[in-house]
């Protein structure tokens, strides 16, 4: 993915992000916020992933993943984890492999 395309995708995701999933503890959440919370929880449970480097957003059942992973295996794993979460219709994986961390 080219750098300008990556940044364009991040801008789109920011616009779609809405409220943080952590706010679901204090008030009723939208279906997308609940989906974000579920996907983030599943990613956190996967010990092979550096979860602090991965961000999740959702819009109408489509989950957007972005951030950095260390390997192509992690890139595929984070997508598989998100896709296996109940309620996820589509996964758009915008994560990038950080070659500097190898």
CATH of the domain at 38: 3.30.1340.30
Spatial distance between the Cα atoms of 79 and 74, rounded to a whole number of angstroms = 9
Tell me the three state secondary structure of residue 10: helix
3-class SS of residue 83: helix
Q: Which domain holds residue 55?
A: 3-101
- Report the candidate in 73, 64, 82, 81 with the shortest Cα–Cα distance to residue 102: 73
Q: What share of the chain in percent tops pLDDT 90?
A: 53
Kindly report, residue by residue over 30-78, the tens digit of the pLDDT: 899 999 999 999 999 987 777 778 999 999 999 999 999 989 999 999 9
Give the number of domains in the chain.
1
The reported pTM is 0.72
The token duo for 32 is: 């997308």
- Residue 16 is predicted with a pLDDT of 45
> How many Å apart are CA 102 and CA 29, to the nearest integer?
38
């Amino acid at each position: 993915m080219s750098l300008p395309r990556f940044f364009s995708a991040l801008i789109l995701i920011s616009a779609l992000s809405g409220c943080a999933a952590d706010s679901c503890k204090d008030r009723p959440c939208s279906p997308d916020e609940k989906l974000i919370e579920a996907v983030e929880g599943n990613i956190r449970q996967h010990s092979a992933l550096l979860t602090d480097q991965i961000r999740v957003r959702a819009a109408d059942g489509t989950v957007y993943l972005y951030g950095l992973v260390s390997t192509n295996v992690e890139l595929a794993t984070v997508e598989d984890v998100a896709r296996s979460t109940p309620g996820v219709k589509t996964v758009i994986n915008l994560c990038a492999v950080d070659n500097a961390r190898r």
